[in-house]
Amino acid sequence: MAGLWVGAAALVGAGRRGRRLPQPLMRSSAVWTLKVRSERAPRGPGLRWASLGFAGLTFDKILIANRGEIACRVIKTCKKMGIKTVAIHSDVDASSVHVKMADEAVCVGPAPTSKSYLNMDAIMEAIKKTRAQAVHPGYGFLSENKEFAKCLAAEDVIFIGPDTHAIQAMGDKIESKLLAKKAKVNTIPGFDGVVKDADEAVRIAREIGYPVMIKASAGGGGKGMRIAWDDEETRDGFRFSSQEAASSFGDDRLLIEKFIDNPRHIEIQVLGDKHGNALWLNERECSIQRRNQKVVEEAPSIFLDSETRRAMGEQAVALAKAVKYSSAGTVEFLVDSKKNFYFLEMNTRLQVEHPVTECITGLDLVQEMIRVAKGYPLRHKQADIPINGWAVECRVYAEDPYKSFGLPSVGRLSQYQEPIHLPGVRVDSGIQPGSDISIYYDPMISKLITYGSDRTEALKRMEDALDNYVIRGKNKYINTKFLSDVYPDGHKLTEIERNQLLAIASSLFVAFQLRAQHFQEHENSRVPIIQPQVANWQLSVKLHDEVHTVVASNSGPTFSSYLVSQQVEVDGSKLNVTSTWNLASPLLSVSVDGTPRTVQVNVLMIYFEGSYKVHILTKLAAELNKYMLEKAAEDTSSILRSPMPGVVVTVSVKPGDMVAEGQEICVIEAMKMQNSMTAGKTGKVKSVRCKAGDTVGEGDLLVELE
């Protein structure tokens, strides 16, 4: 696996407190338990339920039409409620965590989503086979597909979500915008119809005025969205957005609207029932994004005041009631610097970021969805909904931050350890050590959530949780928490941080060398190459392209878990490194001049305020290394290699064609995102080594120029 990254941000602020709800859920770190209470079903006598289960009041068996972390999330609540679960899976997901967690599992097809998780016929057959009474769709896939909901209704199977009218109205961005206007919800200026082709897209964009946002009418999750600043970008955006929309949603219709530059993305969680009741459960701030996909969310938003929050919530509820919405849903808004807000879209499903709302309200949204689907009225009034504390969520992606900040990365997880031993930490995941990250599915593999009494505490807990989250691929370990727009050149270490990193790395190097010596001393057939009596280790340490001189004191034999107190001199600056090095642990705690640090080490990679490759040699080895020949760099201007595993969607050239620098050569799709591959120079195409439909690996040769 080439790498993984975690979205996060250096955020500051204070929390808010609201009225405390007589909660059906009580928080205990990341574990949720139920109080016993009376509940009356829509028909029949009042019954009692508890955490041991009340399946008789809802459903006996639910099929989860999804995979990964969200399938696991739904299964957890079903188990808590005493409901049996059925997992569906593709053939490559047969050993996935959600399959193991469920009571039953049914294979619905091969790896491609169109043949498995979007295969309605196979899923309907699985429902009949297992006699599931209801289906929870999670998010993505068929969660907002009205035809799927109709198929379920025809078989008397309950869809745990809104009815088909609401899905149709809100799932179509064009229709939803018209309904929002009718419900007196603020909307963004734009074209309310379907854009027919690229020429019409250009004409509409010019009329609206650049920049514009091109997006899929049936889309969501950042798929099928492009920002265009001129005619050329509009044509390219139309093509890529329509292709991504068709691939992800089976619907290539697009709309165009004015792009509001530098907005905040704030959404309102709503919850409605089948009795005409609807609530807004406060907001979520989702402004930290890349490629129009959220990576960090928090609740509440530090930007909103109570008046704006109330206005947004009331408009969200007005829209929900206008379409008789009955489930959990989200109304998304763009908010400008003056707190003017505009309706963006309504997602008629459970959102990826729903855990932060659960943390500050105490509600289990999956449980509420199941209750509403069975016909129960909402248990709470608007005045009961609190803001208790603060929560932050970071999405964990199987992507390589060193390749255009996030090209997809696939492979097998060799080591995986969640930081759930820390207070106020919750991890929603669908992976385990040995899990395979596939090219066929979304790159998000887990969500890290922290909760605190205020924003400062929640963010500090997130920082600690990120430091203690171990995710390692087969070949490399990469984990960073900084975004390209905030840190375009990566996180820049201060001089103090750099010296601390070099001191820690050098101390670890000495510890590893002394451990090796320990083994060698017990092997009579080997000659020790390290002299134990050496007083100081003179080292040459390379970080990035700079070489530093480091002298580390010999703290004595270090084998498994010994206390080390070592003086390390970095470029003349002296630092004291203290730790109990347990070299078998993926997480190491260390103190540098009294400052506590948590580091992770994997071969040549060290995680310390980001991921860094540190090359350490003894002084003698560094001198000898000067005589080693370096491998000549490949001339990449004449060849085009695939930067990631994926499937070739289109090839735009053939041998003999003349191409210009920057011209598109082919398109590679990986993890449901399309990536345009371009020529590195102007020249003639010598050979084409791929065709549409081919599966390619990272580094595979695609096209060669003369």
- Give the active site residues: 345
Helices vs strands, H then E, count in the chain: 14, 44
Backbone phi, psi, residue 66, to 5°? -165, -170
Q: Is 118 left (phi over 0), alpha (psi -120 to 50) or beta?
A: alpha
Q: Write 181-184 long-range contacts (CB < 8 A, 24+).
A: 182/322, 183/315, 183/318, 183/319, 183/322, 184/315, 184/318
Q: What is the CB neighbour count within 10 angstroms for residue 20? A: 10
Compute CA distances 391 → 378, 417, 673, whole Å: 24, 21, 29
Give the whole-angstrom CA distance, residue 309 versus residue 311. 6
Q: Which helix (H) or strand (E) holds 37?
A: strand 37-40
Residue entry with tokens 């590679």? 668
Q: In the β-sheet with 658-659, what is the strand arrangement from edge to edge?
A: 639-641, 701-705, 683-688, 658-659
Question: Are the CB atoms for 615 and 607 separated by under 8 Å?
Answer: no
* Biggest distance spanned by C-alpha atoms of the chain: 87
Sequence-ordered list of residues with C-beta below 8 angstroms from that of 171, at least 6 positions apart, any chain: 144, 145, 146, 218, 348
CA-nearest of 201, 186, 197 to 233 is 201
CA-nearest of 702, 692, 695 to 640 is 702
| Cβ burial 422-459 (10 Å sphere, 16+ → b, else e) | bebbbbbbbbeeebebbbbbbbbbbbbbbbbeebebbb
